[in-house]
């Protein structure tokens, strides 16, 4: 593994983590885009009584059509589409046992960002002839692209708010712009 790839991975991941900490803990812009339920205790009790295990849940839930006739399948799908049209629609990640260790989550987050920095550093090393500024821009656009791939479909299909989506798009771009300042410095492209 090349020195540039290692440095880009570690330093880029750490810069991304530092920015993420500022973004989430100091700016508060993510939290401002989220709405609280009117009665958290009541909603928690309903979730706890109806979510059998940890996982990602969807409402309205689809039903298995295995063993149904063609007409039964058609009717089941029509009912589901009508429920989706009327709402409410919910996509929820459920952890029945709570969050767990904050320290462990922070370590996992650093590692996740280092994996992203590794991939972006590798991509950058595949380019040739870009100035430092264009390499930084390349990484910022890659960060924006990743957010577009994930956040715009969530906005479209699951109703994530426009404000929530916009903050994620901007935050991802800033994250990889700042990390890109470091990655582009240490990851000089190959000369053939």
Indicate the pLDDT class of residue 192, thresholds 50, 70 and 90.
Answer: low
Query: For the whole prediction, is pTM greater than 0.95?
Result: no
Pull the structure tokens for residue 119: 């991939």
Q: How many residues does the chain have?
A: 192
Strands (E), 28-144: 55-59, 90-94
Range 137-153 average pLDDT: 96
pLDDT exceeds cutoff 80 at 191: no
Q: List strand residue ranges (DSSP E) for the chain, in order.
A: 55-59, 90-94
pLDDT > 90: percent of the chain: 56
Using the predicted structure, report yes or no on whether residue 189 has a pLDDT greater than 80: no
- For residue 87, the SS3 value is coil
Task: Please report, for residues 25, 96, 131, the alpha-carbon distance to residue 93 in angstroms, rounded to integers and kept in the order given.
Answer: 21, 10, 42
pLDDT at 181 over 90: yes
Mean pLDDT score across all residues of the chain: 91
Where is 81: in which H helix or E strand?
Answer: helix 70-86
Q: Which of 120, 104, 100, 86 is nearest to 13 (CA)?
A: 120
> What values do phi and psi take at 93, rounded to 5?
-90, 120
């Amino acid at each position: 593994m090349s020195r540039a790839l290692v440095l880009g991975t570690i330093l880029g991941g750490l810069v991304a983590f530092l920015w993420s900490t500022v973004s989430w803990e100091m700016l508060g812009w993510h939290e401002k885009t989220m709405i609280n339920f009117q009665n958290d205790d009541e909603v928690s009790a309903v979730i706890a009584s109806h979510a059998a295990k940890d996982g990602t849940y969807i409402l309205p839930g689809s039903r298995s059509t295995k063993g149904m006739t063609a007409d039964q399948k058609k009717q089941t799908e029509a009912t589901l589409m009508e429920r989706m049209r009327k709402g409410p629609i919910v996509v929820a990640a459920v952890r029945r046992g709570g969050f767990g260790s904050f320290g462990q989550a922070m370590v996992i987050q650093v590692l996740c960002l280092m994996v992203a920095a590794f991939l972006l550093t590798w991509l950058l090393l595949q380019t040739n002839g870009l100035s430092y500024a264009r390499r930084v821009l390349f990484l910022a656009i890659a960060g924006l692209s990743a957010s577009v791939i994930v956040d715009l479909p969530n906005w479209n299909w699951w109703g994530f708010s426009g404000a929530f989506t916009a903050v994620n798009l901007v935050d991802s771009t800033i994250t990889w712009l700042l990390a890109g300042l470091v990655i582009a410095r240490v990851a000089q492209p190959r000369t053939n």
